Amino acid sequence: MTRRAKTLMFLGTGSDVGKSVLAAAFCRIFRQDGFRVAPFKAQNMALNSFITPQGGEMGRAQVVQAEAAGIEPHVDMNPILLKPTSTMGSQVIVLGKAVGNFSAKDYYAYKKRLTAVVRDAFERLSKNYDIVVLEGAGSAVELNLKDHDLVNLSMAKMAHAPSILVGDIDRGGIFAALLGSYMLMEPEERDLIAGFMVNKLRGDPDLFLPGVEILERRSGKPVLGVVPHFDHIALPEEDSVALGRRMGSGPKESSGQRPSIGVVRLPFVSNYTDFDCLEYDRGVDLVYFDRPGDVFRFDAVVLPGSKNTIEDMLALERSGMADALRAYFKAGGVVVGICGGYQMLGERITDPHGVESRVRETAGLGLLPMTTEMASEKVTTQVTARLHPDNRLGLGGVSPSTVLSGYEIHMGRSRPLNSQATPCFRILSRNGRAVSAADADDGLSSADGRVWGTYLHGIFDNDAFRRAFLSLLAEKRDGCGLSFGISNYGRWKDAQYDLLADHVRSHCDVERIYRIVGI
């Protein structure tokens, strides 16, 4: 294959070792040094996704890496996305479009067709950028999966990419992880490995110098970086492992004065990056929770997106969370639903075509007078919108002329049952095209505004909307004042990529990595 760009790939000894973060760091480092750089991951499995300006769906990790590189996300950066819909199957998205739900066995058979798709996507990027930073998935040496590999060593070989094998020292067993992974590779695969990177070190890096010597002596490969664990940089994360870690860390220490928001942890939660801007803001306490008894702790409770709305709704009923949410609302609480969470707020959810679930119908929470039916065609759009003139949200801090942005990813179509509830937003455009009045209404709110929902992911990323929502919660909390930690989320987020690049650059042999890349 013809290759134009230089390449660098990050492979891992397992999941959550830091491949995505290090790839993002080098996207920003290369950009800072004046290169045109793009990320690439052949196949991603994640429930957090994003919609590009062209209306294609892709994994969040490559969106973060594209932002770090200072470029617009494109589906070529993540040509295959798998979104689990059950413990055994996933929705398969190819070049931004859903092609169907597959069991693991069926997907392996279908996957043979995708090699050319991956190669062509990479080739297009390679022709337009100076450097392509590639990322593997999970462990690079899952021996039982190697025959079907599209994303790890086979991709490194296809792209002629010198590769850095990343291990997580914080979880222990770093020597077994790095050296064991390396020894399990075939000789020609080992030739692709340019060196190792030890990630998430706690303590003094100098104390690991004997470990560096052991790794280099045993493998004959250099250790290109020992990167300390950090907690001063905030980056979006994409999978359930990261969300479980957030829940395990517990809530931020509360002053008792900040508004508190609880996000319900659904079994098939998706796009929980919708709440990053709230989680990172020191002016609010945000907690992910799954115990019904905790619901009354919060000034507002949010139901996030879901990849399987009916199954998640049934899980809420089984756990007692559904009854707790109904009681919370009756006691005066504020309940918000985003996408799948919005669908759960209604009277009924149906899936006549089995798009997401084998269960064809279930009752919702009954907090909004609407029904939702799952359709065969997926809506994937970037949108601009304004608050609906008749909205009941009570957000006086948002001007009627303020243009808001977000994106839609949903199979369901929701329909109000009466006029007691009113739309939340009026869509102005989808994927850059003006929207007719008949298709402009989005979301629904109760007459008193205490329950509302929307299909718009990323709505809280809009600074004016987020400030107004938090101010409303603060007023209800005995009229307490509100101190915002993030006034401009876009600028704040971009600053995190610079912090990340500085951190990684100072603990890696960047000059040697440039030589490995061929620059």
Which residues of the chain form CATH 3.40.50.880?
258-480
Closest by Cα among 428, 427, 425, 419 to 388: 425
Among the options 410, 457, 507, 508, which is catalytic?
A: 457
Active site residue 339: yes
The model's pLDDT over 33-60, given as tens digits with 9 standing for 90+, comes to: 999 999 999 999 988 899 999 999 999 9
Chain centroid to CA 386: how far? 25
Instruction: Return the percentage of the chain with pLDDT > 70, whole number.
Output: 94
The model's pLDDT over 340-353, given as tens digits with 9 standing for 90+, comes to: 999 999 999 999 98
The model's pLDDT over 191-224, given as tens digits with 9 standing for 90+, comes to: 999 999 999 999 888 899 999 999 999 999 999 9
- Which CATH superfamily does the domain covering 6-234+494-517 fall into? P-loop containing nucleotide triphosphate hydrolases (3.40.50.300)
To which H or E segment does residue 338 belong?
strand 334-338
Alpha carbons 454 and 370: distance in angstroms, whole number? 12
- Confidence check: pLDDT of 518 > 50: yes
- Confidence check: pLDDT of 254 > 50: no
- Confidence check: pLDDT of 249 > 50: no
CATH of domain 258-480: 3.40.50.880
The model's pLDDT over 231-245, given as tens digits with 9 standing for 90+, comes to: 899 888 755 555 555
Which DSSP string corresponds to 361-421?
EEE---SSSEEEEEEEEEEEEEEEEEE-TT--S--TTS-TT--EEEEEEEEEEEEESSSSS
Q: Residue 250: pLDDT band by 50, 70, 90 thresholds?
A: very low
Instruction: Kindly give the interhelix angle for 321-330 and 309-319, rounded to the nearest 10 degrees.
Output: 80
Residue 376 burial class via C-beta count within 10 angstroms: exposed 0-12, middle 13-18, buried 19 and up: exposed
The model's pLDDT over 198-207, given as tens digits with 9 standing for 90+, comes to: 999 998 888 9
Which residues of the chain form CATH 3.40.50.300?
6-234+494-517
Would you state the pLDDT for residue 426?
96
468-478 mean pLDDT: 86
Would you state the pLDDT for residue 482?
63
Least confident of 66-80, 304-318, 468-482: 468-482
Closest by Cα among 153, 133, 150, 151 to 141: 153
Phi-psi region of 394 (alpha: psi -120 to 50; beta: other; left: phi over 0): left
Would you state the pLDDT for residue 478?
66
Chain centroid to CA 75: how far? 15
Alpha carbons 263 and 67: distance in angstroms, whole number? 26
Q: Residue 95: pLDDT band by 50, 70, 90 thresholds?
A: very high
Active site residue 457: yes
Alpha carbons 17 and 401: distance in angstroms, whole number? 45
Least confident of 1-5, 82-86, 191-195, 246-250: 246-250
Please tell me the pTM assigned to this model: 0.90
Would you state the pLDDT for residue 258?
85
Instruction: Return the percentage of the chain with pLDDT > 90, whole number.
Output: 77
Least confident of 146-160, 177-191, 240-254: 240-254
Alpha carbons 163 and 184: distance in angstroms, whole number? 16
Would you state the pLDDT for residue 88?
61
Least confident of 73-82, 254-263, 271-280, 288-297: 254-263
Alpha carbons 374 and 309: distance in angstroms, whole number? 9
Among the options 27, 74, 277, 339, which is catalytic?
A: 339
